[in-house]
Amino acid sequence: MSGKFEATSNMNQHNNEEVQQAAEPANGKDQTKVSEGPWLIIRGFFMGSADVVPGVSGGTMALILGVYSRLIQAIKSINARAIRYAIKFRLRDLFKEVHWLFLLFLGMGMAMAVVFFTRVVPLHELMYTHPERIYGLFFGLITGSVFLLAYSLNAWRWKPIVAMIGGTAIGLRVVTLVPTDTPETALFVFASGALAITAMVLPGISGSFILLILQKYDYILGNISLLGTPETLAAMTVLIPFGLGMVTGIVLFTRLLSWMLKHYYTATLSVLIGFMIGSLYVIWPFQDREFAESVRTQTLPVTDRQVEQIRAGEQPDDPLKSYELGEIVNPEDPAEEQKIEVKTISLKMIGSDPFWPAWEQAQEDDRLSNGYNSIITGLLFMLGGFMLVGLLGYLSNWKIV
Q: What is the pLDDT of residues 257-276, one digit of tens each?
A: 888 888 888 888 888 888 88
User: Is residue 149 pLDDT above 50, yes or no?
Assistant: yes
The whole-angstrom separation of Cα 23 and Cα 20 is: 5
CA–CA distance, 207 with 217 (Å, rounded to integer): 10
Indicate the pLDDT class of residue 393, thresholds 50, 70 and 90.
Answer: low
Higher pLDDT, 305 or 124: 305
Other beta carbons within 10 angstroms of residue 119's beta carbon come to: 8
For the ranges 23-37, 171-185, 364-378, the lowest mean pLDDT is seen at 23-37
- Whether 1 has a pLDDT exceeding 60, the answer reads no
Q: Is residue 65 packed enough to be buried (19+ CB in 10 Å), middle (13-18) or exposed (0-12)?
A: buried
What integer is the mean pLDDT of 5-19?
40
Residue range 351-358: average pLDDT? 86
72 burial type by CB count under 10 A (0-12 exposed, 13-18 middle, 19+ buried): buried
pLDDT score, position 55: 60
Give, in degrees to the nearest 5, the angle at Cα 369 between 368 and 375. Answer: 55
User: Which one-letter amino acid corresponds to residue 221?
Assistant: L
Best-predicted range by mean pLDDT (26-35, 69-78, 177-186): 69-78
Mean pLDDT, to the nearest integer, of 134-159? 81
Beta-strand ranges (E) seen in 277-395 are 287-301, 321-328, 339-354
Higher pLDDT, 8 or 32: 32
> How many angstroms separate the CA atoms of 167 and 173, rounded?
10
Residue 23, judged by CB atoms within 10 A of its CB (0-12, 13-18, 19+), counts as buried
Q: Which of 14-23, 118-127, 264-273, 392-401 has the lowest mean pLDDT?
A: 14-23
Of all helices (H) and strands (E), which one includes residue 94? Answer: helix 91-97
One DSSP character per residue, 225-293 reads HTTTSTTHHHHHHHHHHHHHHHHHHHHHHHHHHHHHHHHSHHHHHHHHHHHHHHHHHHH-SSEEEEEEE
Question: pLDDT at position 91, please?
Answer: 87
Mean pLDDT over the full length of the chain:
79
φ/ψ of 108, rounded to 5, equals -60, -45
Q: Is the pLDDT score of 375 beyond 70?
A: yes
Least confident span in 74-78, 177-181, 220-224, 284-288: 177-181
Q: Residue range 170-174: average pLDDT?
A: 85
- According to the model, what pLDDT value does residue 17 have? 43
Q: What is the pTM of this model?
A: 0.69
